[in-house]
Amino acid sequence: MWVSSVTVGAPDPGVLAEFYARFLGWEVTAKDGPPPGGAPPEIGWAQVQAPEGTPGLRTINVELERDYVPPVCPSVAGEQQIQTHLDIPVEDVDEAAARAVEAGARLAEVQPREYNRVMLDPAGHPFCLFPGG
């Protein structure tokens, strides 16, 4: 068995898919919409895929959550919890963090370790950059 993809919720799937495509150098391969009920945003689901031969997880799906609440990072009792996060090995953590910010991410306020960076994507999902690319 193997895991083919991960799916995350967002208030605008198209925007988040485009962010991951810019940051990772992947391709937006699908945008499906409108979501049930026809309410904005126009895209209810989007998919980003890695180039052929890329190791690890190769697909990120983004699904509309109309009542999306970004998680608090790090988690705090009584607040929206982090449901999942991506771990991304990179050759140069500082360079990758700068590239992520340029693509639309932001640095999380709390950085628990010196050797990696916790980043937040445009919808507020955390992802970690660590040495290992």
CATH topology of domain 86-131: 2,3-Dihydroxybiphenyl 1,2-Dioxygenase; domain 1 (3.10.180)
User: In the prediction, which pLDDT does 37 show?
Assistant: 61
4, 54, 46: which is closest to 25 by C-alpha? 54
User: In the prediction, which pLDDT does 67 show?
Assistant: 87
Residue numbers in the chain where pLDDT is lower than 50: none
Per-residue CA distances from 119 to 36, 40, 64, 78, 105 (Å): 31, 27, 21, 22, 7
69, 27, 24: which is closest to 46 by C-alpha? 27
pLDDT tens digits, one per residue of 73-107: 777 787 776 778 899 999 999 999 999 999 999 99
CATH topology of domain 6-64: 3.30.720
User: In the prediction, which pLDDT does 115 show?
Assistant: 92
User: In the prediction, which pLDDT does 94 show?
Assistant: 96
Q: Where are the domains of the chain?
A: 6-64, 86-131
